[in-house]
Amino acid sequence: MTTPPKFPLDEREVEFSAIRAQGAGGQNVNKVSSAIHLRFDIHASSLPDDVKARLLALNDSRITQEGVLVLKAQQHRTQEMNRSDAMDRLQEVVDGVSSPPKARRATKPTYGSKQRRLEGKSQRSTIKGLRGRVDE
């Protein structure tokens, strides 16, 4: 069971355009515009400002310089299924940045982990030392 989205998206804020899908598929691909281009303007959306900032800060090639997220859905044969697939993927991206990242707290290695590391280093040193010339 999936959790409901924190910030459900309104389809009126999303711009859809139908295009022809790429790749193999014969006549159906050549004749029917079943792929969907989804454009979501982050700046003009109704999302909270902190979520917008985290979206814009993503290092994602699908976000343009103007702050528009562009998704292309061409997985399915029908336009409706591609449309819902694109909306699901957009919701996933928004859900991914909906909560702020946890702050990292610095920790120190334990005494035992230091001892294990040093023991491993000395074992490795012994193995490498045995690789030298053998004296008879």
- Residues 47-64 as b or e (16 or more Cβ within 10 Å = b): beeebbebbeeeeeeebe
Stated pTM of the model: 0.70
Every domain of the chain and the residues it spans: 11-96
Looking at residue 121, its pLDDT comes to: 98
Looking at residue 25, its pLDDT comes to: 67
**How is domain 11-96 classified at the CATH fold level?**
Double Stranded RNA Binding Domain (3.30.160)
* Cα 4–chain centre separation: 19
Looking at residue 35, its pLDDT comes to: 87
Mean pLDDT by 10 residues, the chain (136 residues): 78 87 72 86 90 90 90 89 93 90 93 98 95 82
Looking at residue 107, its pLDDT comes to: 94
Looking at residue 116, its pLDDT comes to: 98
